[in-house]
């Protein structure tokens, strides 16, 4: 019987990968606030899912925001990434 170590998620290797991941997280947070402001996740008045929907709708909206950001979003993560890379490059010179 062979015992193996549990698999851990891979960490981004380079600083550019870490910066890109941070930019995507920031865009996801922004999109989450925008989706909440637009009323996504609010209980519907007719044919609603009851208490279960009220409790778990925030998770759905959070997942949707993360998926939007990871698939390109509104382009905010790319702008943030470029800005942070410029700052990083300026600090190294």
Domain boundaries, the chain: 15-37+53-92
pTM attached to this predicted model: 0.71
Burial class (CB in 10 A: 0-12, 13-18, 19+), 91: exposed
Phi, psi values for residue 72, rounded to 5°: 115, -30
Q: Which residues of the chain have pLDDT under 70?
A: 1-13, 41, 43-49, 90-93
CA distance 39 to 60: 13
CA atoms within 13 A on the CB side of 37: 6
pLDDT at 4: 66
CA distance 1 to 55: 44
């Amino acid at each position: 019987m062979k015992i193996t170590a549990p698999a851990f998620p891979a960490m981004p290797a380079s600083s550019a990968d870490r910066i890109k991941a941070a930019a995507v997280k920031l865009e996801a947070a922004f999109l989450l606030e925008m989706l909440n402001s637009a009323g996504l996740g609010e209980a519907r008045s007719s044919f609603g899912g009851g208490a279960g929907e009220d409790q778990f709708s925030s998770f759905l909206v959070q997942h949707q925001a993360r998926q939007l950001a990871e698939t390109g979003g509104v382009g905010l993560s790319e702008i943030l990434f470029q800005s942070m890379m410029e700052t990083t490059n300026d600090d190294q010179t």
